[in-house]
Every structure is written in structure tokens, then in C-alpha cells.
Amino acid sequence: MSDWNKEFVNAGALWLHDGSAARPHALLTSGLHSDGFVNCTMVTQKPSLLRKILNEPDGLSPKLPIGADWVIGSALGAVTFAYAVAERLSCRAGFTEKDGDTMRLARFEIQPGQKVLVVEDVISTGGSTLKTLEGIKAATGGKATILPSIVCLVNRSGKDELDGKKIRALLTPAINTWKPEDCPLCKQGSEPVRPKSHWKQLTA
């Protein structure tokens, strides 16, 4: 069996704080502080690793539905993943993109009755995924069939479902988040840093 946590760590995609006050911790885009971070770009840029994840019996293979006509992810993080899943399912792939505060399905035409699988690289709060679901409904007039599961590489939301759809993830790492004033790592003297711009510092 594959050790997917180890695969992500080896790919430089998963970082967890070791508890040392001398080591920095993550400052998230939301403003929250965290003792872990997942950078799925380090996985989705490797086609061979994605194929392994999607084909191994202890990977995402048993979590993929049958009969999808489309796989839709959100730009930009889930674009590559959506195409990899679509290749695995022998169907079409597309993505939603930001349009103000919404996610819009602008470049692809899904026909009424076609079945759509929504995918994500990482589900954190679930906000982008919910906007992608709404974008698909808006673009199709609600006439496409959105399948009852959402497939993702990593679910760190603490939720089992979104909009009534089951989240089916490869990894569900135990990652804590805090408001800055409540962050125990800050109180120990650990410095909060932006993960992607300080990735080498975090993972050294």
C-alpha cells in the first residue's frame, strides 16, 4: 500500500509544524494562523504522480464515480487535477474562473442532462467549491446533473460534505488553525509567514 502522506511530504506538498518555537508557522490568506499547510501544486505538476494517485486501489480510484460526462475544477488550483481525473474517466474537462466574488463557467458548454463531477485540489473552507457548484448551475440553468460527490486530493475543512455532496478525499490531514490573537505558536515565539513564499524556510 502507498503511504500518501509520505508521498506528499517527499513531493514538498505537505508541511506540518514540529512544535519548535524556533520554527515559523503558516499565515494563511484568510488571516488565520496554522500549524500545517498543503501546497498541491507540488503534486499536480507531476503527471506521473497524479496518475498513480488516480489509479492505485488505495488511492482515489475507488472514490471516482462512473458515468461522468464532465469533470470541472476551479481555476487555477484544480485545473490540472480536473484534466487528470477526466483522462482517467474518459470524459471532458473544464474549469470555472473568478468573476468578481463568484466563479463562472465561461469557456465550456455543458448540455442539459449531462453529468458533472466537481473536483478540487484542496478543500479548506469549501468556499471556492461552493462557488464552482453555483457557477455550474448558473451556466446550465440548473439543467446539468451534478454528481453527489466531490473528489479532492486534500480535505482540510473538517467537513464531510458540501451542499449535500459527500467529500471524497485522498488525504485528510490534522491541521489546526487559529485567530492571530489565539495562536499558541505565536505565544511560544514562532514567527507567522506566508507559506508559498516561505516554503523552503518552512520545510527546511
Digit-coded pLDDT (tens) for 62-86: 999 999 999 999 999 999 999 999 9
- pLDDT attached to residue 104: 97
- Which of 155-168 are b and which e, b meaning 16 or more Cβ less than 10 Å from the residue's Cβ? bbbeeeebeebebb
| pLDDT score recorded for residue 204 | 77
Q: Which of 37, 47, 49 is nearest to 11 (CA)?
A: 49
For position 94, what pLDDT does the model report?
Answer: 98
Q: Which residues have CB under 8 Å from 9's CB, separation 6+?
A: 15
Query: Are the CB atoms for 128 and 46 separated by under 8 Å?
Result: no
- Spatial CA neighbour of 49 closest among 74, 73, 90, 13: 13
**Band of residue 13 on the pLDDT scale cut at 50, 70, 90:** very high
pTM above 0.85, yes or no: yes
Model confidence at 184, pLDDT cuts 50, 70, 90, reads: very high
Mean pLDDT of 90-99: 97
What domains are there in the chain, each with its CATH number? 4-203 (3.40.50.2020)
- What is the helix (H) or strand (E) element at residue 190, kind and residue range? none
pLDDT single digits (tens) 110-123: 999 999 999 999 99
pLDDT score at 124: 85
Estimate the crossing angle of helix 79-89 against helix 47-55, to 10 degrees.
50
At residue 155, the 3 state secondary structure works out as: strand
200: confidence class by pLDDT, cuts 50, 70, 90: confident
